[in-house]
Amino acid sequence: MGKSKLLFITHEMSPFLELSKISEITRQLPQAMQEKGYEIRILMPRFGNINERRNRLHEVIRLSGMNIIINDNDNPLIIKVASIPAARMQVYFLDNEEYFQRKHVFTDKEGKFYADNDERMIFFCKGALETVKKLGWAPDVIHCHGWMSALVPAYLKTTYKDDPTFKNSKIIYSIYENDFAGKLDADFAQKAVMGNMTEKHTEVYKPASNSALYGGAIHYSDGIVLGGENIDEEVLNYVKNSNKSVLEFDSTADFENYYNFYDEIANEELAHVV
């Protein structure tokens, strides 16, 4: 039997992009799990302020060339890769000129939330799963970090649930402190529908607030990680009422708790959420 496969999907990771403590955990945790025997892949957006030359990003021609459809528009997906030599890990970057080639990440220079952050999120979540399919690499466990990956659990439990790449994958979602105030576009939940989904499948996300995105991800995930101490009360209630397996926050952990949690979730026989 080969190594267990563990996929990380995140919107930030040190040293490429450091916005919050998510960047630290997504740098340290994959390496710790690789050292414990997991085969690792990491996916994140290629935001415009990530320096390609310094980080030695280069395009992966065999993976690029797909189009991701949002609101009936085709959006080209370019895949780039960089290595972290000290850890022997590769990170795949999802790029699109319209969505990601900006000097700032989620807000403009005046600090205003980008109006199309909902579409950027949908593009990233769809693109991440299509990239993994194209890699021909079937993950045993998928661990998502940050609000920008919150649609991945919904897509995996609906459109991709019978896909050979993902049909045996378990999904874990990490909850952190809320990253943004306000809401995404009012039509976000409708735009997020894909494949054989209906608006009923994205209804849980419809308030389009940070807490609602977390709530939707919790609903569709197999396991939840509490990634901080100051998590929104509404989100904690989602977790409590979900009856999902939960890994409590522990600032002193050496990642052994994550290893055990992955093993627990991977071996649970859980029915698909419908």
pLDDT digits (tens, 9 = 90+) for 216-257: 999 999 999 999 888 999 999 999 999 999 999 987 777 999
Classify burial at 201, counting beta carbons within 10 Å of its beta carbon; exposed 0-12, middle 13-18, buried 19 or more: buried
Residue 82 belongs to a domain with what CATH number?
3.40.50.2000
CA distance 100 to 117: 10
pLDDT at 179: 85
CA distance 274 to 270: 12
pLDDT 10s digits, 122-168: 999 999 999 999 999 999 999 999 999 999 999 999 999 999 999 99
DSSP E strand stretches across the chain:
5-10, 39-45, 58-59, 66-70, 73-84, 89-95, 141-145, 170-175, 223-226, 245-247
Average pLDDT score over the chain: 91
Torsion over CA: 105, 109, 111, 115 (sign): negative
- C-alpha of 91 from chain center: 13
Residue at 77 is within a domain: yes
Question: Which domain does 72 fall in, by range?
Answer: 5-266
Residue at 78 is within a domain: yes
Residue at 167 is within a domain: yes
The set of residues, in sequence order, having a beta carbon less than 8 Å from that of 164 and lying 6+ positions away, is 138
Q: Is the peptide bond before 30 cis (omega within 30 degrees of 0)?
A: no
Residue at 272 is within a domain: no
Q: How many domains does the chain have?
A: 1
Residue at 9 is within a domain: yes
Give the single-character DSSP code of 35.
Answer: H
Whole-prediction pTM: 0.94
Residue at 123 is within a domain: yes
Name the residue with higher pLDDT: 56 or 141: 141
CA distance 76 to 51: 21
pLDDT at position 271 over 80? no
Residue at 145 is within a domain: yes
Closest CA to 208 of 153, 157, 128, 147: 147
Residue at 191 is within a domain: yes
pLDDT at 2: 62
pLDDT at position 272 over 70? no
CA distance 24 to 121: 21
The lowest-confidence range among 22-26, 68-72, 112-116, 151-155 is 68-72
Q: How confident is the model at residue 100 (pLDDT cuts 50, 70, 90)?
A: very high
pLDDT at position 270 over 60? no
pLDDT at position 107 over 50? yes
Name the residue with higher pLDDT: 71 or 91: 91
Mean pLDDT throughout 73-78? 92
Q: Are 172 and 225 in contact, with CB atoms under 8 Å apart?
A: yes
pLDDT 10s digits, 167-210: 999 999 999 998 888 899 999 999 999 988 999 999 999 999 99
Tell me the three state secondary structure of residue 42.
strand
